[in-house]
Structure 1
């Protein structure tokens, strides 16, 4: 029997977790990388939480912090998703995976190259299919969300989040100053417009809309001014502990690209 392809996902935030979920459910092997102090907001649905807590469970799938590459491979044998603190994704050079997915959603290419693996996929703006990656997945909400782009780029970054319940930038909580984030409310709680939900260096952060907190950065993280530290959904019945429709759509696009490229290539499949 051929070996399952190994897939390295750069990043372990909520979109990256949606990708990992789709691939894991399709019986593919996934290793994720992260920075040592993740700035993830939707922590309830992000495997990046394993960096802080040693383990994260999202929709019944377990991820654990891997201390070495060998440890990561051992976790794979137990059907656990390994998360490596590896900001430069050096594991790619060590393990030579069949697929690399840049899911950091930085809106620019942080150094991913098309020759890193037989199949290299980039999420969202900043990548050009056929140049620095083989395929790009559209991450902009709307009709094209989750589509696979085999030539060209995703919709350019608008600088504004997608509309939810008629709200865009109002949904986001941002640090008003450089400093350590201290939270006063938690993910899943309903807050009112004007309510203080966090404090950064004695500067209060107030909700700009009434709704449910779907995301909040880990308390104690130091951030620069302007960093996104939270997310409020105006829909009070919004789910905060399940993978979003957007993340699943993007994950489905990655899965399409994997089957289109890798499963059709016996050499890549068998390594």
Structure 2
């Protein structure tokens, strides 16, 4: 509530680290936010992902609490208590009942997973796979560089390059990918300092080693089945442990773009004249 006015509900599809940065920014700006996730989220940066509430019941990211809700009624109670509900709703079926003022697709699947501009008065697509004016009302650029976080009012986000952002000269070396199909077992945990060649985890019976020195910034949840080539971890060569527990610069930039698009839509009364 701001100035005695009850703020509208925004639904965010996805609750990984980028989506959680968006959720956090909208929450701190006074909006009521509901996050939608799949049954078994595959978040890497779990310390800053509201998706962890699916597994643990609740989680906190920078002093904002998210709580798992197994139905819409519980979600509404969580909202009234001043927290962020996380629902398992892969197809976003709850939208018809909740009737949010905006839907933000932050799944970051590099393609559109079914979001369209008729889902809500304001619709926002995050990253590749969306074109403003066709799929959604606004698109937010997620590619690192000059245009990161830019609101696209007409047109599409840059295509996915498949190349991770460069940190201290390292790009693809930072990313840990699964060498095969299998269950993941941790040897190290998020926050551990590692050296090149250290075993970080196993997938099945195969060792997965660090390619660089740094801190384990992200690691997919243990005992999940992962497929060959899936990103399962992330090493930060800066070795700043505090970065692990705070929203990234990229997530904040993207979140700022989402907030701009949302406020722009509210100011002009997008589609349904909200």
TM range (shorter): over 0.9
Displacement of 1:67: 1.0
Match of 1:66 among 69, 75, 100: 69
SS in 2 for 1:120: strand
Candidates 251, 259, 267, aligned match of 1:247: 251
Aligned equivalent of 1:236: 239
C-alpha contact (below 8 Å) 1:8/1:32 kept by paired residues: yes
Over residues 84-106 of structure 1, what are the superposed CA-to-partner deviations in whole Å (9 max), with x where a residue is unaligned? 01111111122111100000001
**For residue 95 of structure 2, what is the aligned residue in structure 1?**
92
Give runs of aligned pairs for residues 148-167 of structure 1, distance below 5 A: 148-167=151-170
Q: How does 1:37-48 map to 2 (within 5 A)?
A: 37-48=40-51
Moved more, 258-267 or 233-242: 258-267
TM-score (norm 2): 0.96
Higher alpha-carbon deviation: 86-95 or 4-13: 86-95
SS in 1 for 2:50: coil
Aligned to 1:115, the other structure's residue is in SS state coil
Q: Name segments (4+ residues, structure 1) moved above 3 Å.
A: 266-270
CA distance, structure 1, for counterparts of residue 58 and residue 183 of structure 2: 24
Structure-1-length-normalised TM-score: 0.97
| 2:212 aligned with 1:209 | yes
Q: What is the aligned partner in structure 2 of residue 181 from structure 1?
A: 184
Equivalent in the alignment of 2:104: 101
How far is the alpha carbon of 1:249 from its aligned partner?
0.7
In the alignment, what sits opposite 1:139? Answer: 142
Q: For structure 1, which runs of at least 5 residues remain unmatched after alignment?
A: none
**Paired position in structure 2 for 1:222:** 225
Question: Are 1:19 and 1:247, in contact at CA under 8 Å, matched by a contact in 2?
Answer: yes
SS in 1 for 2:191: coil
CA distance in 1 between counterparts of 2:20 and 2:272 reads: 24
Matched residue SS, 1:116: coil
**Counterparts of 1:268 and 1:109 in 2: how far apart (Å)?**
23
Report if aligned partners of 1:181, 1:200 keep a CA contact under 8 Å in 2: yes
Q: CA–CA distance in 2 between the matches of 1:69 and 1:168?
A: 41
Aligned to 1:25: 28
Matched with 2:117 is 114
The Cα shift of 1:3 comes to 3.8
Contact 2:37 2:51 in 1 (8 A): yes
Aligned match of 1:57? 60
Q: How far 1:266 moved relative to its partner? A: 9.3
Q: Which has the higher contact order (CA 8 A, sep 6+)?
A: 1
- SS of 2:34's equivalent in the other structure is strand
Unaligned runs of 5+ in 2: none
The one of 257, 263, 270 aligned to 2:261 = 257
C-alpha distance after superposition, 1:142-169 (max 9, x if no partner):
1111110000011110011111111111
Aligned length: 270
Q: CA deviation at 1:260?
A: 0.5
